[in-house]
């Protein structure tokens, strides 16, 4: 998920309208990776991602970056971070270096080529799986803490809260009869986020995966490997941990204990970060609505998210945020 600066205005309409199958195959051919004509579109909305079959060798995965989202330098900074992780033998999927670069361009599109990696979703209900995940996220963070990103933004209440909120208020996505109620609830939610950050105090920010949910982890007999660092940015370590949690409060307490049992083998964890779990969940909800709004001129979005921009959608968001306002004032999920 999501854009470099959600406060920026929409990019050019339908940025991927010219990216037909022939363009994809021609782009891959242009860097000497010759496809055999087999093309499979993979599940991605922010970018466009395809599996490309080859006559010689395994298929590859090709990611075409959304125009104007990241600068070339910001994309290469993410590629360099993933390469650092590979150098530390952490199971991630790096962009392939071809002709001396991991980022390529063809007919106005920027793209990268990745090796294909198989696997299944991790079983996040299993304590051993959560501990294993915690170990590898701890290893990622140990590398991520060595130096900061110079170009990529930080995940904080401004970038993931105030900016998408301001964007939505400037555009006509919220029905008029719900606009005042919705805006009031978001303001209350952002005030709750601010209280959580105050309770947590000053915390270090490090390079993160940024979107570390089960869909971005592929599990094999050798354990997990992490894919899609496209949303990698600076932020608190807990951002890469809280999305592994689900269920009732007592279940999330146990799950957090399992994750931290592995995480702290490789990286120190400041328990004050637990004050941010519900705050970060709240920011993600606000940011997600803003992300959908900013991408609504891309035909893939109305087709994939037909429920967005309906009255029911915004009514549900109001209820959801009210629940989060209450949760943010509850005690944090201290592991037993």
Residues 174 and 286 sit within 8 Å (Cβ to Cβ): no
Provide the β-strand partners of residue 272.
Answer: none
Residues 263 and 241 sit within 8 Å (Cβ to Cβ): yes
Q: Among 134, 334, 137, which Cα is nearest to 254's?
A: 334
Distance CA(283)–CA(288), nearest Å, equals 8
Distances (CA, A) of 129 to 50, 133, 224, 244: 29, 6, 9, 11
Beta-strand ranges (E) seen in 1-154 are 35-41, 48-54, 60-64, 104-106, 109-115
Tokens describing residue 276? 């941010």
Residue located via tokens 């035909």: 299
Residues 235 and 276 sit within 8 Å (Cβ to Cβ): no
Q: How far apart are the first and last CA of the chain?
A: 32
Catalytic hit among 26, 55, 228, 230: 228
List, as one string, the DSSP characters of 163-179. HHHHHHHHTTTS-HHHH
List, as one string, the DSSP characters of 223-266. EEEE---TT--EE-TTHHHHTT--SSHHHHHHHHHHHHHHHTTT
**∠ CA 85-273-231 to the nearest 5 degrees?**
40
Query: Is residue 228 among the annotated active site residues?
Result: yes
Query: Is residue 166 among the annotated active site residues?
Result: no
Residue located via tokens 């354990």: 223
Catalytic hit among 29, 126, 128, 211: 211
Q: Among 143, 134, 123, which Cα is nearest to 335's?
A: 134
Residue positions annotated with a catalytic role: 211, 228
């Amino acid at each position: 998920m999501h854009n470099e600066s959600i406060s920026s205005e929409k990019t050019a309409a339908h940025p991927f309208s010219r990216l037909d199958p022939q363009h994809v195959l021609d782009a891959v051919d242009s860097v000497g990776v010759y496809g055999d004509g087999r093309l499979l579109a993979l599940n991605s909305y922010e970018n466009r991602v395809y599996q490309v079959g080859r006559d010689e060798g395994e298929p590859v995965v090709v990611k075409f970056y959304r125009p104007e989202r990241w600068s070339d330098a910001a994309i290469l900074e993410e590629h360099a971070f993933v390469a650092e992780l590979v150098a530390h033998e952490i199971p991630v999927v790096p962009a392939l270096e071809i002709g001396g670069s991991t980022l390529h361009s063809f007919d106005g599109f920027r793209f990268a080529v990745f090796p294909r990696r198989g696997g299944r979703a991790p079983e996040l209900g299993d304590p051993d799986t959560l501990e294993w995940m915690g170990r590898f996220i701890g290893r990622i963070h140990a590398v991520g803490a060595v130096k900061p990103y110079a170009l990529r933004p930080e995940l904080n209440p401004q970038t993931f809260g105030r900016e998408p909120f301001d964007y939505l208020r400037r555009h006509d996505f919220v029905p008029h009869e719900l606009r005042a109620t919705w805006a009031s609830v978001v303001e209350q939610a952002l005030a709750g986020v601010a209280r959580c950050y105050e309770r947590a105090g000053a915390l270090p920010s490090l390079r993160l995966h940024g979107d570390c949910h089960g869909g971005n982890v592929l599990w094999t007999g050798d354990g997990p490997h992490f894919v899609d660092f496209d949303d990698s940015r600076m932020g608190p370590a807990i951002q890469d941990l809280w999305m592994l949690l689900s269920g009732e409060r007592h279940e999330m307490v146990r799950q957090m204990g399992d994750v931290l049992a592995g995480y702290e083998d490789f990286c120190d964890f400041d328990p004050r970060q637990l004050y941010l779990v519900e705050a970060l969940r709240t920011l993600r909800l606000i940011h997600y609505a803003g992300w959908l709004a900013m991408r609504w001129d891309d035909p893939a979005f109305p087709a994939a998210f037909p429920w967005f921009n309906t009255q029911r959608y915004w009514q549900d968001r109001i209820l959801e945020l009210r629940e989060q306002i209450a949760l943010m004032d509850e005690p944090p999920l201290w592991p037993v």
